[in-house]
Chains A and B, each alone.
Chain A
């Protein structure tokens, strides 16, 4: 028998949808995203095939929860679409913030939301439930804090990286890199030149800004200019007239300085000519580069960092300073300053180490306070530049799309490793969340308010779901395994590779504490918010949101 045709929704018609219809539609959307992401949870994930925009191409085979959620751009039913987009946004933000944990978040969200809806439909109070959820967040976070411990060494980091990216070669190299550059170090991830993954460690720091004239390059074998034991004049000035610079060069020369690098926003051809004419290789070396980001706010920060590194005091255009304000005391110094056509770098800055350490500490405090993803990234890059080295990772692969996918993996694995180095690890494989359950059950027993009791009961059940899903995805009976794990006690979990119940920390099966804490906070807050949605308002012409387009 043929099914009855489903009437197509009229997307052009504006609508206001009230509960319980709003809840049901929203819930279907949430479940759709969660079910799409669920198979990817765990070290033995299933793949999700996503059709490409060009239908002639084979589907993408994905096992990254955030990427899968991002590929779902719009659902035909608008109530469902709103639910799906809500969860998609939660997952996307989590990925941006901590780099991992989207599949766990999806599973946890689904369980919390579905259980809570059942309770609300049966007469529970959504506001009281949300309040109880919010009270539970710090409790759970402190439970996770108690389980947290630090990891160190390339081997442990590589093991963790592999549990995130499931790519042994990439994980091994990322483990080594982060063992060296730590949580803040600068890591440049580029397209590889071969099939393999390669890495290089770069001494000192560098910025993407090269020499102002190719004639300033003196070493034609390396195509760069090296200034040894050099002074640096840091500025964002526009140097247009040669006569402005002549007194500076004379003062520098008279002081016995044998090499000078100048950073400027702009330098006229005649001033460049003056520099080249006064250059005496090996006796008085001169070069100039454009100040990185000189025309943006970041330029000021770059100059601050260069000043801290070299002990110089920049000449700042916006402060009304000109070359007339130059004195030798404003120069910074370094063991080596180099530049090529696209970059320049400083090795062994001779700034005051105490001032440099204080500057780094200030940036770290600002980083800890910052909530904006871009600001955190900017601050992290600045800190990394001041710590004396950076790494470059060339990601190779079987073709451009493979390289691109591996680069994405490298970026989010690296972000997660940074979180691990900053905040430590907890027992993995869903064990940390499962080990929060006794504390939630204890609160359930203590609570007298019905909504509060419901909240702790719902949380306790939901916190079993990540382990259940990991076990099920690996092809085991989740109920049977969970019973064994509970019997084994705190810290135990299921190693799906060996098929045994083990002490997870000893087996090296670990999760980032930062990620787990972010999951708990983001998901519980988001579920609380979703539960208080009473009405869905739909527009006349649903616009294609910019962020959806960006996620395609």
Chain B
């Protein structure tokens, strides 16, 4: 076990266990490597311990298998490829990547991973890589992806049927409707890019709603599958939007959490009204990423990654 203070660096990605509410475990991709973090004991454990690396391995992306409780499979996206562990991080295997080795920025398993074994990786210069065999072999699939700088990705909740996923890049958004084998640009104005965050409504097959967070132009929402876009609350979201999380409730309203560089906002009415969550950010530090282990409904817990490598826990309130 190592103390948190030793790794004051940067949190890129947080992947909570599907049983987070019970086990409190999540895996955190940081500048200094990949760590297993126990929210209850606040303890950090180097997940790359078995690799005995001479230097820190920057880990911008991490994803757990949707069936993590059974298969204990973790994917870590590094500058050099995708590492796979099938024993909860005790041992790792490097996926077979095309040359030259890519810098992975985002990892995205299929919602039906247990059946289709599909996992996607976005990369810094190599576009999208696709593995059809649970991360053993990886192939670049960039037909139509004119911009290969992939910063974020999203996948349809109904992927098994519609085979749809999106990639946010330096210059806009691309969509694939054939399981990531070819891409077409979406009608998102390129002057608003880079796109840092991209999220799909859990009810996407019926409401066709997408959310996009940009580096310098705020938050956008589309209710027609990306044909047209509306800017959301420019006063709250004037510039950077790092993370967007969305849950749906039985009433049909969408619950949205949005992280800017220094604040966290929540809406429980599909973005009509917002309130800021109280966060005690350390001085001179900002939010880098956020995860919602049990959604963004009122009362749920958010894990907030900080630019110094820490994680803060924050409960979602209905009102401030």
Contact = CB atoms under 8 A, between A and B. Distances in A.
Interface in A102-154: 152-154
A513 to B, nearest CB: 19
A180 B181 contact: yes
Interface of A: 152-154, 179-182, 185, 201, 203, 226, 228-229, 335-336, 347-348, 350, 353-354, 356-357, 360, 386-389
A357 B149 CA distance: 14
22 contacts: A153-B178, A179-B178, A179-B181, A180-B143, A180-B181, A181-B182, A182-B144, A182-B184, A203-B98, A203-B140, A228-B100, A348-B127, A348-B142, A353-B146, A353-B148, A353-B149, A353-B169, A357-B190, A388-B127, A388-B142, A388-B144, A389-B182
B125 interface: yes
Interface string B172-184: 0000011001101
Contacts, number: 72
B143 A356 contact: no
A357 B146 contact: yes
A393 B60 CA distance: 38
A348 B125 contact: yes
Contacts of B171: 353-354, 357
Contacts of B126: 335, 348
A388 B180 CA distance: 13
B148 A348 contact: yes
Nearest to B185: A357
Interface of B: 98-100, 125-127, 139-149, 163, 169-171, 177-178, 181-182, 184-185, 190
A226 B185 CA distance: 30
Contacts of A180: 143, 178, 181-182
Contacts of A357: 146-147, 171, 185, 190
Contact of B144 (A203, A348, A354, A387): A387
Contacts of A181: 143, 182
Contacts of B148: 348, 353
Nearest to B148: A348
B103 to A, nearest CB: 11
A360 B190 CA distance: 15
Nearest first, the 6 closest Cβ-Cβ pairs linking A and B are A353-B147, A389-B143, A228-B100, A388-B142, A353-B171, A180-B182
Given A182-B182, A203-B98, 9 more contacts: A180-B143, A180-B182, A182-B143, A182-B184, A185-B143, A228-B99, A348-B148, A354-B171, A389-B182
A335 B190 contact: no
Nearest to A359: B146
Contacts of B163: 153
A421 to B, nearest CB: 11
A335 B126 CA distance: 8
A154 B145 contact: no
Contacts of B143: 180-182, 185, 201, 387-389
B138 to A, nearest CB: 12
Contacts of B178: 153-154, 179-180
B309 to A, nearest CB: 30
